[in-house]
């Protein structure tokens, strides 16, 4: 479907055909765009509505969702600003497309801003799948994530995200009350079949209750 010009991010929207599937907010990694994760969303949750924005920050011409100062070193002031902008977009997209709160599926940079959104604007998301995410904020704010489901998948041989960092993120989310499932897979920074199998099974457990 064509983009809605009154929404603040270039994006793609695909309406859902299965009312039992929660909508998915697809957040690409560095260098991706609004089309990158659409095939993944379609295969993982057939029939789910898909909202896929393009990051508005450029790093050497590559789209990202927020600035970084170096590999693994985030510009936290920019991250906080961009998280607010993305959360506002999600609220606008929900109104424009008549959607319930989505589950974010973010990869790398997209996973990091999804984690930041859970901490800074938790009401925007119904849950999140964080793929190769790391701690986004040095000092996370106090937040109530009671009952919020989160799947965090890390790579044992990830050269970008240290395993300790990913475990710290899982602990932060758990301490805030989220229902965290964290798995460290025999993988690097890229995704493999083990990731896809875990995500698909997890998403099936998040089906919306039938309308009365």
Number of domains in the chain: 1
For the stretch 27-54, pLDDT in tens is 999 999 999 999 999 999 999 999 999 9
Q: Is residue 21 part of a domain?
A: yes
Residues in the chain: 212
CA neighbor of 116 nearest in space, from 147, 138, 96: 138
7 against 211, higher pLDDT: 7
CA-based angle 134:140:146, to the nearest 5?
95
**The pair of three-digit structure tokens given for residue 116, joined into one six-digit string:** 């930041």
Q: Is residue 4 part of a domain?
A: no
Q: Is residue 171 part of a domain?
A: yes
pLDDT at 178 exceeding the cut of 90 = yes
Q: What is the pTM of this model?
A: 0.95
> Containing domain of residue 151, as a range?
11-204
How far apart CA 80 and CA 118 sit, in angstroms, is: 12
The pLDDT-based confidence of 210 (bands split at 50, 70, 90) is: low
For the stretch 68-80, pLDDT in tens is 988 878 999 999 9
Regarding beta strands 50-53 and 11-14, do their DSSP bridges make them parallel or antiparallel, or are they unpaired? antiparallel
Q: Please state, for a pLDDT cut of 90, what percent of the chain lies above it.
A: 89
CATH number for the domain harbouring residue 60: 3.40.50.1820
For the stretch 98-146, pLDDT in tens is 999 999 999 999 999 999 999 999 999 999 999 999 999 999 899 999 9
Q: Is residue 209 part of a domain?
A: no
Q: Is residue 3 part of a domain?
A: no
Active-site residue list: 108, 158, 189
Q: Is residue 210 part of a domain?
A: no
Q: Is residue 5 part of a domain?
A: no
Q: Is residue 211 part of a domain?
A: no
């Amino acid at each position: 479907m064509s983009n809605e010009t009154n929404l603040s991010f270039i994006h793609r929207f695909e309406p859902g055909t299965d009312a039992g599937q929660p909508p998915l907010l697809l957040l690409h990694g560095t260098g991706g765009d609004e089309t990158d994760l659409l095939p993944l969303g379609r295969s993982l949750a057939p029939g789910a509505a898909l909202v896929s924005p393009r990051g508005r920050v450029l790093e050497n011409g590559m789209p990202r969702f927020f600035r970084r100062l170096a590999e693994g070193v985030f510009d936290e002031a920019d991250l906080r600003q961009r998280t607010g902008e993305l959360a506002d977009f999600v609220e606008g997209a929900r109104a424009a497309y008549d959607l319930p709160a989505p589950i974010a599926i973010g990869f790398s940079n997209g996973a990091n801003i999804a984690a930041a959104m859970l901490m800074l604007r938790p009401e925007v998301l119904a849950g999140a799948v964080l793929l190769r995410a790391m701690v986004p904020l040095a000092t996370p704010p106090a937040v109530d994530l009671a009952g919020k489901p989160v799947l965090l998948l890390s790579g044992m041989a990830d050269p970008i995200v240290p395993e300790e960092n990913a475990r710290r993120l899982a602990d932060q989310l758990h301490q805030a009350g989220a229902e965290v499932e964290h798995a460290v897979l025999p993988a690097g920074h890229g995704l493999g079949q083990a990731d896809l199998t875990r995500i698909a099974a997890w998403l099936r457990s998040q089906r919306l209750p039938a309308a009365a």
